[in-house]
């Protein structure tokens, strides 16, 4: 559409909707890549004591279990979306965010290190819609903590762009 150097009046409605939906469609793809990337069949239900992730959670919440409770509680919010543990690379602290649909609630400059899909399609084959809590428990038993640590370390070692 932009190849001829302009968006003319006839093109504007299609151009507008393609642009408006880009965050939904594109972030939906990216978040699923993070989600499946941090899953591992038969993973340990908790990270190793003293791991980079545990240290970051403890720095932020004081105790690992308190941080886990916060993340799981975010995952229990009504509606469809995502629970995301982000790292703020500029200060090395984590925070948990609810992302509605795929695009509302992402924080600029924060990087996802643990991503949980809580759209119903993520668990409807195994659980009833009201059994999201059991799905979240199962999710925690199938996490690749090494991937989470790698994301955290990569985020914190990357050059920090001043805000």
Q: Name the residue with tokens 């105790």.
A: 63
CB 54 within 8 A of CB 64: yes
Minimum distance from residue 6 beta carbon to Fe ion (Å): 37
Minimum distance from residue 40 beta carbon to Fe ion (Å): 18
Q: Which residue is nearest to Fe ion (CB)?
A: 117
Minimum distance from residue 39 beta carbon to Fe ion (Å): 12
CB 136 within 8 A of CB 72: yes
CB-wise, 22 or 124, nearer to Fe ion? 124
Give me 161's structure tokens.
């762009």
Q: Looking only at residues 118 through 137 of this chain, which bind Fe ion when binding is defined by CB under 5 A?
A: 119, 122
Nearest to 39 by CA among 96, 94, 116, 134: 116
| One residue of 43, 117, 135, 155 binding Fe ion per CB under 5 A | 117
Roughly what angle, to the nearest 10 degrees, separates helices 52-61 and 64-75?
80
CB 75 within 8 A of CB 132: yes
CB-wise, 32 or 40, nearer to Fe ion? 32
User: Contact region for Fe ion (CB under 5 A) — 77-85, 93-101, 117-125, 135-143?
Assistant: 117-125
CB-wise, 15 or 119, nearer to Fe ion? 119
Q: Is residue 88 at the binding interface for Fe ion, with CB under 5 A as the rule?
A: no
Nearest to 155 by CA among 109, 119, 124, 117: 109
Query: What is d(CA 17, CA 14) in angstroms, rounded to the nearest whole number?
Result: 5
CB-wise, 57 or 115, nearer to Fe ion? 115
Contact residues toward Fe ion (CB under 5 A) are 117, 119, 122
């Amino acid at each position: 559409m932009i190849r001829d150097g302009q968006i003319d009046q006839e093109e504007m409605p299609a151009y507008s909707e393609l642009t408006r939906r880009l965050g939904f469609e594109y972030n939906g793809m990216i978040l699923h890549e993070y989600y499946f990337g941090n899953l591992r069949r038969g993973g340990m239900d908790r990270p190793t004591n003293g791991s980079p992730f545990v240290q970051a959670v403890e720095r932020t919440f004081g105790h690992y279990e308190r941080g886990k409770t916060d993340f799981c509680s975010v995952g229990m919010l009504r509606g469809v979306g995502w629970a995301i543990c982000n790292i703020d690379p500029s200060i090395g602290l984590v925070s948990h965010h609810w992302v509605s649909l795929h695009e509302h609630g992402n924080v600029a400059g924060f990087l996802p290190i643990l991503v949980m899909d809580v759209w119903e399609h993520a668990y409807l084959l195994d659980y009833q819609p009201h059994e999201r809590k059991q799905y979240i428990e199962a999710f925690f038993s199938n996490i690749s903590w090494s991937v989470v640590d790698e994301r955290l370390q990569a985020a914190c070692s990357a050059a920090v762009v001043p805000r």
